[in-house]
Amino acid sequence: MASSCSAVLLGDSAAFTAALRTLINNPQFSDVTFWVGREQQEVFAHRCLLSFRCQAFQALLRSQPQEMQAPLVLSHVQPEVLLAVIEYLYTNSVTLNNLIALEVLTSSMEYGLDDLRKLCVEFIKDTLSVEQVCEALQAAVAYGQADLQMHCLAFIENCTREVVHTRGFLELSELAVQTVLQSDCLAIDEVDLIRAVREWAHVGSAVLGSPVQNVAKTVVPELRLALLSPSELTTLEEENRKDHMIPVESLSEAWKTHALRKGRGVRSCLCRRRRGTLPREHHRHLDPLHK
């Protein structure tokens, strides 16, 4: 008696994917409708595909019995972003561009779609620009994406002077700015960096309705005031009288390095020159090992 045997034979996966792609936002045979974004644009989908590909959608759809035909409202998502998520769920691929990639990343986290998250991170890393790197860094910090955060920081380190003049830098959170300022590899002199942080703090003050010194409270300790020359410190003190961004104690510590001609009494990291720090005569007393 001949023994039975079986095998899984693969057909044309491209044709299968192309067929499923025709179902994206197709009202024919759809059984769920979303109202998406501020304008509540209609997006059509299929319960079966959404439910079995995404637990978050499964829970959402279970909350609404199938016999109820009322649209599901997703006002916090752009239509293009939801369609990208649906494309991924239907075809296991996604079409991204610089306008929606970060929002699709946000949605991938919200819906628990880890493979989509990885695709978004790789796209963002491959397409970073001076104008968008701070927005990407902010997302990386907010969502705990260490790999993306390191990649963004490396980009910023190479283009620091250009990046600090972007709108994205002015919109960074305190934690994101701290992350940038902790780097030794920023390609910018400390005077220019302090100026950029002051502009960031003033923008934050206007947006939050909070004094500049409060906005910058957790950020200022990362500035390396000890790297400034005496004349530059004097100028900084004059500027500081206008907004009090830098505490008097921090300025006193910087002056102490000149009085003692060494970094004793100041955090060692605040005496280290960054990659873009211009040389000053007193630097050799601060960190002799840093050539």
For 256-273, how does the pLDDT look when each residue is reduced to its tens digit (9 = 90+)? 888 876 555 556 677 889
Residue 289 pLDDT > 90, yes or no? no
DSSP H or E stretch at residue 42? strand 41-45
For 114-127, what is each residue's pLDDT tens digit?
Answer: 999 999 999 999 99
Which fold would CATH assign to domain 20-95?
Potassium Channel Kv1.1; Chain A (3.30.710)
Amino acid found at 244: H
CB-based burial of residue 225 (10 Å sphere; 0-12 exposed, 13-18 middle, 19+ buried)?
A: buried
pLDDT of residue 291: 46
Cα–Cα distances in angstroms (integers) from residue 182 to residues 37, 92, 121, 189, 223, in the given order: 38, 39, 23, 14, 8
The segment(s) of the chain belonging to CATH 3.30.710.10 are: 20-95
Q: Which residues pair with 44 in a beta bridge?
A: 33
For 61-113, what is each residue's pLDDT tens digit?
Answer: 888 766 657 889 999 999 999 999 999 999 999 999 999 999 999 999 999 99
Residue 41 sits at φ, ψ, to 5 deg, of: -70, 140
Distance CA 70, CA 260 (A): 74
Kindly report the pTM of this predicted structure.
0.87
For residues 240 and 287, which has the higher predicted lDDT (pLDDT)? 240
pLDDT of residue 20: 92
- Section 131-153 average pLDDT: 96
For 17-27, what is each residue's pLDDT tens digit?
Answer: 999 999 999 99
Distance CA 27, CA 23 (A): 8
Residue 130 sits at φ, ψ, to 5 deg, of: -55, -40
User: Cα 2 from chain centroid?
Assistant: 62
Residue 177 sits at φ, ψ, to 5 deg, of: -65, -40
DSSP state string for 190-203 = HHHHHHHHHHHHHH
* 287 confidence band (pLDDT: 50, 70, 90): low
Q: How many CA atoms within 13 Å lie on the side-chain side of 228?
A: 24
* Mean pLDDT score across all residues of the chain: 92
pLDDT of residue 284: 82
* 10 confidence band (pLDDT: 50, 70, 90): confident
What is the percent of the chain with per-residue pLDDT over 70, rounded to a whole number? Answer: 93
pLDDT of residue 282: 86
Angle between helices 13-21 and 79-91 (to 10 degrees): 150
- Section 3-12 average pLDDT: 87
